[in-house]
Structure 1
Amino acid sequence: MEPIIEVKNLRKVYRMGKEKIVALNHIDLEIEKGEICCLFGTSGSGKSTLLNMLAGLEKPTKGTIKIKKIRVEKLNETQLAIFRQKNIGFVFQSYNLIPTLTALENVALPLVFQGMDKKEREKRAKEMLEAVGLGSRLHHKPKEMSGGQQQRVSIARAFVNRPQILFADEPTGNLDTHTTIEVMDMITAIAEKYKQTLIIVSHDPEIADYAHKIITVQDGDVLKIEKNTDKGRKMIYEKEE
């Protein structure tokens, strides 16, 4: 199967005065369509930097990033914005909801940028909120909801335009254990239902175990790639020396 994401010789170096900090060091990576992947590693390992590169939020110092055969690192800001609207959804640890908008309005917002008329986008947003168990909270604002409910709104917003690729950056970092399980079950079930590619950043082994593929990042390098077999067993099929 041809990869939906292909990374070659990816390198990111930050300059702080005269000092160079290597955040990513010659990363090679392929992610297939419909695959659930976890970028796994401790704080400072480079996993969030890698996610930002894949999402086009930062430019690499060197290397190529192809998503659906498009060289993402070559796109300008306007082209990137259009590409993300059509292809990518985001789930953040901090929810990033607009506090003055209701759940329905927050979820419908990405559809505004696609030019969808109000009736259709509200219908789509309502369906998505019902799918994440918030059908009774359509007109509640973020401050009127728990952390778990706010993250469900964030998930509904990410999935509402059926993007082919979902990026989730520590999506359960602010949630308790019970809510974490609910949210992870929800994200992965929706992604699998619609054959979407899901890339999760996490430092939690239990979150990583939801993935088909676990990409362990350490000191800016891919340390190993593991493929999850059934019942959470992992089989290492690639390892960089």
Structure 2
Amino acid sequence: MKLTDISKIYRIGTEKVVALENINLEIPKGEICCILGTSGSGKSTLLNLMAGLERPTKGNIKIKGKNIERMSENSLAKFRQNYVGFVFQSYNLLPALTAVENVSLPLIFRGVGKKTRNERAKKLLAQVGLEKHLKHKPNQMSGGQQQRVGIARAFVGKPEIIFADEPTGNLDSKTTIEVMKLITGIARENNQTLIIVTHDVNIAKYADRIVYILDGNIEKIEKTVSAEGEIV
């Protein structure tokens, strides 16, 4: 992924609000990158632009050599369907569906048969420690268990890029560690690019690089020694 001179300006009445200004960033395949910043820093806007959920006011965003800001909405939807997974802070599970059904949902849109998608969903749920919760619905699971379902759903389609937006924001410290080890472990195992957006420096330490965002600008970029090591 390569971002070149990215800016995002919102117009509120006659006022202009600059959310991001001249962002330049490259993220190589297989890297775990953390976008770190406080509320209002522009980090969530940056995630939305990289995921193609919003379009930049100016600049280019290339993923797999394609300028996603030039794609039509239909092309973008297909691109995300084939190459992108999401882990959300609020889990975003469908309450009427079981764990297996929630995880297998993205595969329906790819035309994968029911038997195959259920097998893949069960395998992922076992990998995240939920083999005994396959038929449980979200209201029958804890927050940590729901987030594990969300992780399995994000990875079930074997996307090349996973975006994790404050993935542990609703979890206690013990569950946070478990979830971060899960997300980063699966991504590393499959050489997937993982982009984590957070305000928590402890979460950032699981990444290969930390991109600090302040007032819509990249303040600095730091590498970490290891996935859980000290910052250089």
Q: Same fold (TM over 0.5)?
A: yes
Q: Structure 1: which amino acid aligns with 2:8?
A: K
**Per-residue deviation at 1:23?**
0.1
Mapping 1:133-148, distance limit 5 Å: 133-148=129-144
Which residue of the other structure, out of 83, 88, 93, is the alignment partner of 1:97?
93
**Structure 1 unaligned regions, length at least 5:** 236-241
**Per-residue deviation at 1:167?**
0.1
Mapping 1:69-108, distance limit 5 Å: 69-108=65-104
**Per-residue deviation at 1:232?**
1.9
Which residue of the other structure, out of 191, 194, 205, is the alignment partner of 2:190?
194
Give the superposed CA RMSD: 0.7
Which residue of the other structure, out of 44, 60, 63, is the alignment partner of 1:64?
60
* Runs of 4+ with >3 A deviation: none
**Per-residue deviation at 1:234?**
2.3
Report whether the alignment pairs 1:35 with 2:38. Answer: no
Q: Structure 2: which amino acid aligns with 1:86?
A: N
Structure 1 CA distance for aligned equivalents of residues 136 and 75 of structure 2: 34
- Output one character per residue of 1:142-201: Cα deviation in whole Å (capped at 9) or x when no partner: 000000000000000000011000000000000000000000000000000000000000
Secondary structure of the 2:196 match is strand
Q: Structure 2: which amino acid aligns with 1:65?
A: I
Partner of 1:183: 179
- Output one character per residue of 1:99-144: Cα deviation in whole Å (capped at 9) or x when no partner: 0000000000000000000000000000000000000000000000
Mapping 1:203-214, distance limit 5 Å: 203-214=199-210
Structure 2 CA distance for aligned equivalents of residues 229 and 147 of structure 1: 31
Report whether the alignment pairs 1:118 with 2:114. Answer: yes
**Structure 2 unaligned regions, length at least 5:** none
Q: Structure 2: which amino acid aligns with 1:228?
A: T
**Per-residue deviation at 1:216?**
0.2
Mapping 1:13-52, distance limit 5 Å: 13-52=9-48
Structure 2 CA distance for aligned equivalents of residues 186 and 164 of structure 1: 17
**Per-residue deviation at 1:229?**
1.6
Partner of 2:165: 169
**Per-residue deviation at 1:233?**
2.8
Structure 2 CA distance for aligned equivalents of residues 116 and 41 of structure 1: 38
Partner of 1:239: none
Structure 2 CA distance for aligned equivalents of residues 137 and 229 of structure 1: 36
Structure 2 CA distance for aligned equivalents of residues 229 and 154 of structure 1: 28
Structure 1 CA distance for aligned equivalents of residues 55 and 26 of structure 2: 18
Structure 1 CA distance for aligned equivalents of residues 98 and 225 of structure 2: 41
Partner of 1:234: 231
Partner of 1:224: 220
Which residue of the other structure, out of 97, 104, 124, is the alignment partner of 1:128?
124
Secondary structure of the 1:49 match is helix
Structure 2 CA distance for aligned equivalents of residues 79 and 167 of structure 1: 19
Structure 1 CA distance for aligned equivalents of residues 231 and 115 of structure 2: 46
TM-score where L is the length of structure 2: 0.98
TM-score where L is the length of structure 1: 0.95
Identity %: 61
